[in-house]
Structure 1
Amino acid sequence: MNLPAFFTHSKSILKLTYPILIAQLIQNLMGFVDIVMAGRVSAEDLAAVAVANSIWLPLILTIYGLIMALAAIVSQLAGANKYPEVAEQTYQTAWISLALGISLIALYYVATPLLSPMFSLEGNLETLILDYLAYIVWGAPGFCLYLVLRNYAEGLSYVKPTMIISIIGLLVNIPANYIFIYGKLGAPALGGAGCGIATAIVYWAMFISMLIYCFRSSILKQANLFTRFYWPNFTHIKNILGLGIPIALSLLFEVSLFAIVAIILVPFGSQVVASHQVALNFTGLVFMVPLSIAMATTIKVGYAIGNKNYQQAKDYSFYSVILGLLLACVTAILTVVFREQIAGIYSRELPVIELAASLMLLATIYQFSDTIQVVSAGALRGYKDTKSILYITFVSYWLIGLGVGLVLGITDWVVPKMGPYGFWIGFIIGLTAAAVLLAWRLRVIQQRLEQNKDELPPTKNNSPEFEL
């Protein structure tokens, strides 16, 4: 490995990574604030927020994954100095996101009468959950449009707004929660359901703030986003969806895998489920580090491809993985050393702390595989090869990871059933399979570029207008 080149590329990647990482952590902190403030009302309100979020987050994260395609599109167009096309593709993505945001509102009012009889929850819990969802869906269009502007800015390698707008969101979230949860300033006391109104307000505040930022920033004006209006172009929309849907589904596969395991573990008892959730929540926070590197890698690789600097794209892919692995060593060591103290933050029950701490030991193993697979996927998005990510993540997560977890966790076919340990071993094997396959696919794409210097890899995702 060329150390000077590694330090040069790492410095460039980290410059993009740290604002994205801060933004991701702040978004997680907003969820933490919701839980804490709702929990001060009652355990029922806390449970309502947790359950409602488990319904809401997979939906909004799937849309987030779809809109992530814009960052790859913009970075390639910017690398090719095709800024007029950047504005058009941003508008077409905005039409998609607006339609999806409105669809979530419609989905709530269509699905609620059908799902409500299936809840059969005790006390006021069902009302709190449905009220939370009724409020938050009205923020969906704003959040979807914010994501468009965020990916537009990140595609232009300008990530500072992402961090600043997230801070604004947090500053709006806390007082809005205070007003609507506890009934201050003349507002009704809505308990946990008030988090739904607060979050909807945050979504619109983030969109409006980002819109103003894009309008006033000299850096973001280079694509002339506001000088011409573009109506929907269904050819462009189809191509964007072709890139974005595989990203969205692969993200959904990962989120749903961990959710389904939590459900499967219910018969093992509340302490086992709690330990699983504690370990999962902490490792989710750690995952923000390689995920942020992956998002930065998408931008760097996409820009290099647009500029037809294929060697630079290859270098960024390689050095980003190395950088991610070095940081994974740091987080793994910290996890091993402080695992019991970390678990103690979440729970005071000794059995929960002990089991969560032991699961965190297994998590330190898959941090390395997780880093390789997520950064490789980020590089592949930069090459706009997204369908391979979909196929590989489905096979790795659901067929291999969950399959191994089921065999080891709840059967005696290979060894006596291992409970949660079996599923976490399944996570390790599934993520390792994803890491190997995605790294292999990345190498295949790079070899194709080396063989033909004038074309992008001939994948179905590379529609003609994006072949730069």
Structure 2
Amino acid sequence: MSFYRRARLSRIEAGRLARLALPVLGAQLAQTGMGTVDVAMAGHVNATTLAAVSIGSSVWIPLVVFMVGTLMGLTPIVAQHAGARTFGHIRPAVHQALWIALVLGLASAAAVVAGGPAIFTLMNVPPDVAAPATIYLDAVACGLPAIAVYETLRFFSDGIGHTRASLIFALLGLAVNIVADGVLMFGGPGLESLFGADLPAWLAGLPALGALGCGIATSFSMALMAGALFVYTRRAAVYAPARTGRAWSAPVPALIREQLRIGMPVGVAIFAEVSLFTAIALFLAGYGEVVISAHTVALNFSSVLFMLPLSLGMALTVRIGQARGRGKYRHARFVAWNGVLCALAVAVLIDAILIFGGQYAVRLYTDAPAVQALAVNLLLVAAIYQFSDAAQVSIAGALRGYKDTRLIMVVTVFAYWMVGLGTGYMLGEGWPGLFAGLGVYGYWIGLIVGLSVAALLLGWRLRHTADSRRGGRRPLVD
């Protein structure tokens, strides 16, 4: 194939990938924004409420991350059936995923209610913070089954290529969460200070619920998102081909096992990544508030930018699954590696933002000069690992499209926890008699090493998987 024809096909595929990824990016940012709004509003109530919401979030968010990763296994299944035009298999697959979601949602809710107080005791959380944090968790737990259902329907929608639904209903949840937080957390007094004394009596008399109000608002937003997306998938014309078959299916062990085989390793992998950053924060706890604050600021800003390659990886899952469903294995291979190149191009953009815009971004988080200076330096370190991070997340998305997820889990746990955290701890804490240690910089260098190892190992796996499933010489384009 000539260079010009390959370049033209690359541009076409990049455009298709972008059309899928942009709504996913908006949805990811909107969902992340819900947590940001909770913390920001809690900080305007009082320091105790902020601490309660922050500590409570550290309990339930990792469970939701694991749950979402597990349910993500539905996307390649639906995408492959959509590509093969075997629409009659989609509805039963969605029903089995909903059964899984219900079990995971209820189990997560029970774990949060039962385990929250024990975790607070183990962490020596002060009683004046632990009490509202426990109430907050009890309220959030009510919405966990709903968010599990929402994510299932979202991944179903993504699988058939209608990613705009994710954006629409994530924005709906964000808007509702903002309003509900304001009304329930601040109550009548807060609303009067914002809108004046002419409020209706029923609004002016609302109590300020603080952390409890934040939990109720979060659960209400989750339930509304799930209900609205359920109605939408039942009525919108774009889903009509997938409405073939029975309106409801009982649990089918074989289909549930298939989804868990694909999704469970993804859930473990994502949980391992999230828990890695939590572990690093714990190791840095003894370095003082400047280091902890700078680490949090730099990590938060770089995490927002990470949504760009993450969205490309999720879109790659759809494109590759659909190509495989049509039997175009050679094209699936082209889509995979072209998507990785797109992610690396995005990494260049992210690096430019970190290097040239980092100093301005950190000012949005803090006014402390010492925190700003250290956070800017950490963002420069983060610029080094963007290529590895973009590569590993896009390759992982491609492998999900091939339904090849088990090695993702193995590589992630090994690269992040053994290589990344091990290297970070050794460089950060030092080695007696050899060197004193680099502190927070050592831990961030460990991230570079861990992400690089993950990218190399996953890249080797994608090359093996894509080559072994090409299916002979087939047309390259759809």
Q: Which interval holds the TM-score relative to the shorter structure?
A: over 0.9
| Residue of structure 2 aligned with 1:359, choices 378, 388, 395 | 378
Distance 1:436 1:146 in 2: 34
Distance 1:122 1:199 in 2: 24
Q: Is the 8 A contact 1:181 1:194 kept in 2?
A: yes
Distance 1:360 1:193 in 2: 35
Distance 1:48 1:266 in 2: 18
* Pair 1:42–1:410, CA change in 2 (3 A): same
Distance 2:123 2:431 in 1: 33
| Residue of structure 2 aligned with 1:378, choices 385, 390, 397 | 397
Could you tell me which residue of structure 2 aligns to residue 339 of structure 1? 358
| Residue of structure 2 aligned with 1:191, choices 182, 207, 210 | 210
* Pair 1:225–1:207, CA change in 2 (3 A): farther
Q: Structure 2 unaligned runs (5+)?
A: 189-202
* Pair 1:114–1:346, CA change in 2 (3 A): closer
The one-letter code matched in structure 1 to 2:456 is V
Could you tell me which residue of structure 2 aligns to residue 409 of structure 1? 428
> Which stretch of structure 1 is more off in the superposition, 278-287 or 213-222?
213-222
**Secondary structure of the corresponding residue to residue 132 of structure 1:** helix
The one-letter code matched in structure 2 to 1:151 is F
Q: Is the 8 A contact 1:119 1:126 kept in 2?
A: no
Distance 1:3 1:235 in 2: 43
| Residue of structure 2 aligned with 1:305, choices 284, 300, 324 | 324
> Which stretch of structure 1 is more off in the superposition, 326-335 or 288-297?
326-335
Could you tell me which residue of structure 1 aligns to residue 140 of structure 2? 136
Per-residue Cα deviation, 1:177-219 (whole angstroms, up to 9, x for no partner) = 0121012435432112311110100001101110111112111
Number of equivalent positions: 454
Deviation of residue 114 (structure 1)? 4.0
* Pair 1:346–1:113, CA change in 2 (3 A): closer
Per-residue Cα deviation, 1:307-337 (whole angstroms, up to 9, x for no partner) = 1101111111111111111111111111101
Deviation of residue 230 (structure 1)? 0.3
Could you tell me which residue of structure 2 aligns to residue 419 of structure 1? 439
Could you tell me which residue of structure 1 aligns to residue 466 of structure 2? 446
- Percent of aligned pairs sharing the same letter: 35
> Which stretch of structure 1 is more off in the superposition, 60-69 or 346-355?
346-355
Could you tell me which residue of structure 1 aligns to residue 115 of structure 2? 111
Per-residue Cα deviation, 1:329-373 (whole angstroms, up to 9, x for no partner) = 111111101211111111111111111100000101111100000
Deviation of residue 20 (structure 1)? 0.4
The answer to whether structure 1 residue 234 and structure 2 residue 253 are counterparts is yes
Q: Structure 1 unaligned runs (5+)?
A: 455-468
Distance 1:342 1:312 in 2: 40
Distance 2:62 2:141 in 1: 13
Distance 2:253 2:142 in 1: 26
The one-letter code matched in structure 2 to 1:410 is E
Could you tell me which residue of structure 1 aligns to residue 45 of structure 2? 41
Per-residue Cα deviation, 1:241-264 (whole angstroms, up to 9, x for no partner) = 111110000001100001100000
The one-letter code matched in structure 2 to 1:442 is L
Per-residue Cα deviation, 1:103-149 (whole angstroms, up to 9, x for no partner) = 12222343346445435433521111111100001001111001111
Deviation of residue 80 (structure 1)? 1.4
- Structure 2 length normalisation: TM-score? 0.92
Q: Is the 8 A contact 1:396 1:430 kept in 2?
A: yes
Deviation of residue 223 (structure 1)? 0.6
| Residue of structure 2 aligned with 1:435, choices 455, 459, 470 | 455
The answer to whether structure 1 residue 275 and structure 2 residue 294 are counterparts is yes
Q: Is the 8 A contact 2:316 2:335 kept in 1?
A: yes
Q: Is the 8 A contact 1:120 1:126 kept in 2?
A: no
Could you tell me which residue of structure 1 aligns to residue 193 of structure 2? none
Could you tell me which residue of structure 2 aligns to residue 466 of structure 1? none
Deviation of residue 291 (structure 1)? 0.3
The answer to whether structure 1 residue 320 and structure 2 residue 320 are counterparts is no
Distance 1:120 1:328 in 2: 40
Distance 2:121 2:342 in 1: 50
Could you tell me which residue of structure 1 aligns to residue 168 of structure 2? 164
| Residue of structure 2 aligned with 1:61, choices 51, 61, 65 | 65
* Pair 1:48–1:113, CA change in 2 (3 A): closer
The answer to whether structure 1 residue 397 and structure 2 residue 401 are counterparts is no
**Secondary structure of the corresponding residue to residue 183 of structure 1:** helix
Distance 1:158 1:112 in 2: 37
Q: Is the 8 A contact 1:93 1:148 kept in 2?
A: yes
**Secondary structure of the corresponding residue to residue 85 of structure 2:** coil
The one-letter code matched in structure 2 to 1:237 is I
Distance 2:282 2:460 in 1: 33
The one-letter code matched in structure 2 to 1:139 is G
Q: Is the 8 A contact 1:169 1:206 kept in 2?
A: yes
Could you tell me which residue of structure 2 aligns to residue 177 of structure 1? 181
**Secondary structure of the corresponding residue to residue 143 of structure 2:** helix
Distance 2:386 2:131 in 1: 39
The one-letter code matched in structure 1 to 2:440 is P
Distance 2:111 2:8 in 1: 53
Could you tell me which residue of structure 2 aligns to residue 460 of structure 1? none
The one-letter code matched in structure 1 to 2:425 is L
- Structure 1 length normalisation: TM-score? 0.94
Q: Is the 8 A contact 1:359 1:421 kept in 2?
A: yes
